[in-house]
Every structure is written in structure tokens, then in C-alpha cells.
Structure 1
Amino acid sequence: MILGFVILFSLLIGSFLNVCIYRIPREESISYPPSHCVNCGSRIKLYDLIPIISYLFLGGRCRNCKSRISIEYPVIEFITAVIFLMIYINYGLSFEFIKYSILTAFMIVIGMIDYKTTDVYFKISISAIITGIIFTVIGKYLGSGILEYIYGAALGGGIITLIILITKGMGWGDAEICTICGLFLGFRLTMLLLFLSFIIGGATGVILILLKKKSPRDYIPFGPSIALASVITVIFGERILSWYFSLF
């Protein structure tokens, strides 16, 4: 029953994340107006808002105007469900499950918007930072050390800030994202996050250049790499660190 609830809940969250990804860059409210077709403007009925299933049943088209609905919507819902499920398998129905699920939800939104627009919106970042602070304070009363997460935020934001000041090769939004991750992950896991982010970002850049999708002078958003690294760190981070330290 809990597993089914986690899957259903994560699919609904994924549907909400789609709304955020679409509306925030357009400076639209994420709560009003209700879900509607972006082509004809008709309000989408509740039975057409069932994650993934409605998309398949409608053949990926609006019920009213028959315009094509982006495949991105069910993909985001599916990815959110898979990530939440893996977090649940790792941490059970716990404080960590709630905290890391919220972190990955923020990262999906931030990463997708950065990929599409090359912008990181401060109103998302500040919401995530405040949420991270709240979890840090709650964690203190549950036995977690508060300094671990303060140091994590300082490490994540500080390293990227240093790179920006020295090379100007990254944006301040990247520093915001790493600060958020540090608040949620703590110092140890933030070190791994940074390492994975640079590996993923570098590999992505090389692949895009080899495929001639980008030139060496083009700007490549780093936010999606950080977002992917955060998911890997949340799910596999402790095992990766244990494996690494076992080598010594």
C-alpha cells in the first residue's frame, strides 16, 4: 500500500512540476488559471489530468483542438516517479525520504528551466534555500548536526563562486543551485555532488561539441548537470563514498 501511495503521489508531483517548468519562465502563476490547453485555451477536465494515462488515452493530443501535447509532460511524470521510488527504496518512509524528494523536485524544475532558457530563477532558488534551512533546523532536533549542512551550503556555493570570480565561465545561478544542494546534502555528499557535476558537465559538453550541436564558444547550461548529479548523490551517494574510502 505504501509503495502504491509513493508511486501515485510522485506521479501527481511530476504533473505539478510540469506546470512549474512551463509557467515560471513565462512569469505566470502556478496556481491560476487551472490547467488548460496552451493552444486553444480550453480548460482541461479532471479526467484528462491523470498522469501518463491521460496522455496515452488521448493519443498525445488535446481533446478539444487535437493539437499535439509535448511528450515532455509524461516523461517528467515518469522520471519523477522513478526517482521518488528509488529514494523510498533507499530510505523508506522517513525524514530523509521527504527531504530528498523535495530536493529532487526542486532540481527537476531548476534543471529543466535552465536547459530550456539558460536561466535560474531566483524565486525558485530562494524557495529552495528557505526549505533547506527548515529541514536543517528540523534535522537538528532529530539528531543531525546543523553545521554539517551549513558547511555543505558554504562548500557548494563557495566553490562555484570562486570559479565565477576567477574564470567567469559559470553563472551565479549555478552557485545558487549548489548552495541549495549543500543545505540538503551536507558537507560530505556535497563534495561528491561537485565532483559528479563537473564530470557530467564536461562529458555533456564534449558530446555536444562532437555531435556539432554546440561549438567550443557556445554557452552550455550547467544547471542540468548539477541536477542530475544531485539525484545520483541522493540515491547512490553513500555507497559511492563507502566504495571510494574502501580503496584506502
Structure 2
Amino acid sequence: MEIFLIIFATIFGLLVGSFLNALIYRLPRNINIAVPRSSCTSCNKVISWYENIPVLSYIFLRGKCSGCDSKISWEYPFVEIISALAAFLIAPSSLSAPALLNFFFFFSVYSCFLVHFIVDLKHQILPDSINLYLAALFLLVSWFSHPWTFWLIGGALGLGFPLLVSWVFYLLRGEVGLGGGDIKLYGALGFYLGPIGIMQNIFLSCFLGALVGIVLIATKVIKKENPIPFGPFIIVVGAFQVFGESWFKHLMSYIP
């Protein structure tokens, strides 16, 4: 049964990865996620169902559109493969309600983190719809697993502290130091991480962002005046906080 669930979860991850590709492309462009059907971004050829099979279609098409031969980004199969890997790592061990709910929760969080990470890198925005979904998911889980003071103070700190810092920065420099999407993401994480966890995330993500920024500027990869998307740093730290213990235990279960 466990092998079957692992295989099913991995295939499910591949399919969801294909959907995440659609979100990554459509959300920052304000395109409806349901319609119209997917099409080539170069020639607008509608993609047939057999051209939309995760990973396999990319291989059979040799990474090119069947209509105009324009290259298909490697990002598409990459997202599908790492989504399958994530689903494999958190596959449920049984068909019990707790195991299935646990899988749904962690895979949902992974999916939101991945969409946020790539969209912010490419477009420097964190879609409100993803932040709202994360906030609702985290609040629901914390509601049943922690006292109300845990998630309420955590959410308030997640929203309030970065907002205060950003406001002070604006008063001193006349510039927006932290985007609204970043602040909302902190707030959503605060519901799940609680007051101590969210403050750890705020300081560690700021430290990581500053460190990476210094390295990129020193190596002349970017110029000092170029903005650096901050969401990925929040997500990297948040991923360790949310998934670290669960994934480590899962990996250890495969070691004799």
C-alpha cells in the first residue's frame, strides 16, 4: 500500500506541477487561470492535450513548439519534476484522514511557495491570491493546533513589524523598502510559525537577503541601484521552518 501511495503521490505531483506552470505564467499577467486554453506564447497555437503531458511532451517535442518551432522554456519540465519530487518526499503513509490531510497541507504550502518564488524572481510581485490562500490555510491549521494567542500574535507581528520598519524606512529615505506582497507573506506565515517563529524568519530572511545582495553587488552581477526580489528569501527560510523536520524524518525512514 505504501509503495502505491508513493507512486500515486509522485504522479499527482507531476500533474499539479503542470498546473503550477499555468499559475506562474498567468497570475502576474492577470489572465484567467481556467480560460482560455494554453497556447504557444510565440504563435498562439492552442496546445493539444497530448502536447501537455508533464515532462513527456517536452521530451517528445524536443523542447520546441509543434507549430512554429520556437523553444519551450526548460522551466516547464523543471517545475513538474521538482513538484513530483516534493510530492514523493511528503507522500502519505496510509489512506487515513490525518495522513491525507497532512499531505494536502504540506503539498499546498509547497505549491504556493514555488509559485511565489518564481513569480517574484521574474516579475518582482507576490500575487495576493496566493498570499490569501496561504493565510487561510495556515490560520485553519493553527486554529486547531495552537491557542489563539499563538496565531493571533504571530500574524500581528508578521504584518505589523515589517510594516513599521517599511514605514520608518520610507520616512528616512523616501523610498519603499518592502513591498506589500512581502508584508502579507510575513503575515500569513505568522499564523503558522507563531510569534517566535515569525521573528526568526524576519531576521534570518533579512540577513540572507543582505548577504546575497552584497555578494551579487561585489561580483558585479547586479548594480547597487538594481532592486532584488525579497520574497525568495522569506520563502527559503520559511521552507526550512515548515518542511525541515517533516522531510528529514521522511528521508530517514528510507535508511535501514
Into which bin does the TM-score normalised by the smaller protein fall? 0.7 to 0.9
- Give the structure 2 partner of residue 46 of structure 1: 49
CA contact (8 A) 1:174 1:223 kept: yes
Q: Distance in 2 between matches of 1:165 and 1:226?
A: 19
Deviation string 1:42-94 (CA, Å, 9 cap, x unpaired) is 22122221212211221111122211001111111222223333344899934
1:26–1:239 CA distance, 2 compared to 1 (3 A): closer
The reply on whether 1:227 has 2:235 as its aligned counterpart is: yes
- Give the structure 1 partner of residue 251 of structure 2: none
TM-score normalised over the length of structure 2 = 0.81
- Give the structure 2 partner of residue 203 of structure 1: 211
TM-score normalised over the length of structure 1 = 0.83
- Give the structure 2 partner of residue 175 of structure 1: 183
CA contact (8 A) 1:104 1:230 kept: no
1:88–1:235 CA distance, 2 compared to 1 (3 A): farther
> Alpha-carbon deviation of 1:178?
1.1
CA contact (8 A) 2:90 2:247 kept: no
Which residues of structure 1 form unaligned runs of 5+?
A: 241-248
1:84–1:183 CA distance, 2 compared to 1 (3 A): farther
From 146, 149, 160, the equivalent of 1:147 is 149
> Alpha-carbon deviation of 1:175?
0.6
Q: Distance in 1 between matches of 2:201 and 2:235?
A: 9
**Structure with greater Cα Rg:** 2
> Alpha-carbon deviation of 1:204?
2.1
SS of alignment partner, residue 155 of structure 2: helix
- How many pairs are equivalent? 236
- Give the structure 1 partner of residue 173 of structure 2: none
- Give the structure 2 partner of residue 117 of structure 1: 123
- Give the structure 2 partner of residue 244 of structure 1: none
CA contact (8 A) 1:192 1:237 kept: no
- What is the 5 A alignment of 1:1-248? 1-88=4-91, 93-137=99-143, 140=144, 143-168=145-170, 169-236=177-244
SS of alignment partner, residue 226 of structure 1: helix
SS of alignment partner, residue 93 of structure 1: helix
Q: Which moved more, 1:65-74 or 1:33-42?
A: 33-42
Counting aligned pairs with the same residue, the percent is 31
- Give the structure 2 partner of residue 245 of structure 1: none
> Alpha-carbon deviation of 1:35?
1.7
Which residues of structure 2 form unaligned runs of 5+?
A: 171-176, 249-256
Q: Distance in 1 between matches of 2:229 and 2:37?
A: 31
SS of alignment partner, residue 67 of structure 2: coil
